[in-house]
Amino acid sequence: MFFTYLRRELRRRRKAALVVASGLALGIALVIVVSSVSSGMSQAQDKVLQSLYGLGTDMTVTKAAAPPGEGDNRRRFEFDAKGDTGAEQSSDRVMVQGFQTLASSTVTQVGGQDGVAQAVGGLSLTVLKVNGEFKPGEITPPQGGGRTGQGGTGGAGGGEVRGGGAAFDVNSYTVFGTDVAAPALGPLTSSKITTGRTFKSTETDAAVAVVDSAYAKEKSLAVGKTVTISGTKFSIVGVATADSGDSAANLYIPLKKAQTLADSKDKVTTVYVKAADSQQIDSVKSAIQKNIPDTTVTTSADLAGTVSGSLSTASDLATTVGKWLSIAVLIAAFLVAGLLTSSAVSRRVREFGTLKALGWKSGRVTRQVVGEALVNGLLGGVLGIALGLGGAYLVTAISPTLTAQLGSTGGGGGLAGGGPMGGGPARQTASKALDIALTAPVSVSTIGIAVGLAVAGGLIAGGFGGWRASRLRPADALRRVE
């Protein structure tokens, strides 16, 4: 009887049911779209962080920045004389990015802290290549035949030096020394080997290199060719393509080789840390800072706080304006559904009064109204999920591009070079800008929330109508009989 009456009443009031369902559908669809876009932005921010640290890294440990004025970051370029014929001069300088290093033993110390699953060291370098030539000037005889020496016009031999000078080109590229014995952690994991292979665990001191695909294209490098770094030839064994944005370095070489090139034996610039439990990252950070002095620990959350640009702006809008807009629309949809249901009950006074006169209890009338409203809510949920999925698919299909600018963390870490003379680690992350294509993935939990909202909307609307129906008396129906 219940379902028979329910089906008949919904068929009779199709327009009213559609209006209620449509209002709920719009609110539910907006929640799905906002939730999926927020999830896509979160994934985009994760890609920004992974492009710096690689997969699996929860935090990094770097040397604490020295106070301003301390340390000598100057670099000298000296050239040997090669005659006076303008022969080409060339010099390479391998420098540690940020000029701040930690002892390799720090990696073991960090790995021994409670809550640390794995710790791997890396050495980030910048190579400056300066080449050019000195052009000697020409000595011209003095005008007027002046004499040399006392009373002469000056200059060597009484003449005048004209022309000459120097013309040098300065090129720079970045090199990262990676621990080949721990390939699952570090910046190289943010790139995918597209040609050749990655390092073997036995190549700890081998002259082999993996080159970034963009740099390989620019310099016409390929697997099997060699690249020279400060006089040492490295055989290219693989080409890696960054999963998103720019790669962490132009070239990757074994850590021991990088330490040799930079004259930084047993030194690293960054320790990459994976926590045993992602929920305990803050406590692990505190333990490292307490037990290992003169270090700066930067977590993914710290780095995410420095992300700016259109990605950050859009993320703020989605999490603030979008969230509150969704809540406002949902509340409005629930209220409208409740009021429409209550209004429909008011128009059915004679019907419900007659049913009560025939023996229906108030609870049965209320259940009938709630059942109708619940069906309307579920119908609105189905429509809302369809609209929400369509909106999320549209966002993913369009894939609007957002820019993420990674600012300074203040502590030094990161691998994005801020230029060869970047002025210390605090500035290394300042120039890391990435273009990220926005997607809007819809999770099962989001669908579950939508279904829950549909049921809640139906129950709220049914609550309004049921309360109104329970107050009707059979006498009201008799007064309306013509």
pLDDT at 228 over 50: yes
Cβ atoms of 428 and 99 closer than 8 Å: no
Instruction: Kindly give the pairing relationship between strand 138-140 and strand 226-229.
Output: unpaired
Give 205-218 as a DSSP string.
T--EEEEEHHHHHH
Q: Give the separation between CA 280 and CA 116, rounded to whole angstroms.
A: 10
Question: Can you give the pLDDT at residue 235?
Answer: 95
Confidence check: pLDDT of 25 > 50: yes
Question: What pLDDT is stored for residue 427 in this prediction?
Answer: 33
Question: Is residue 169 over pLDDT 70?
Answer: no
Residue 211 clears pLDDT 90, i.e. is over it = yes
Per-residue pLDDT tens digits for 194-203: 999 999 999 9
SS3 470: helix
Q: Cβ distance 450 to 387 under 8 Å?
A: no
Query: Within a 10 A sphere around the Cβ of 203, how many other Cβ atoms?
Result: 17
Instruction: Using the CB atoms, write b or e for 91-124: b if 16+ within 10 Å.
Output: bbbbbbbbbbbbebebbebbbebebbebbbbbbb
In the predicted structure, residue 149 carries a pLDDT above the cut 60:
no
**pLDDT for 61-115, tens place per residue?**
888 876 655 544 555 555 555 555 555 666 678 888 776 889 999 999 999 999 9
Average pLDDT, the chain: 74
User: Quick count: other Cβ atoms within 10 Å of Cβ 345?
Assistant: 25
The confidence band for 423, taking pLDDT boundaries of 50, 70 and 90, is very low
Q: Would the pTM of this model clear 0.95, i.e. be above it?
A: no
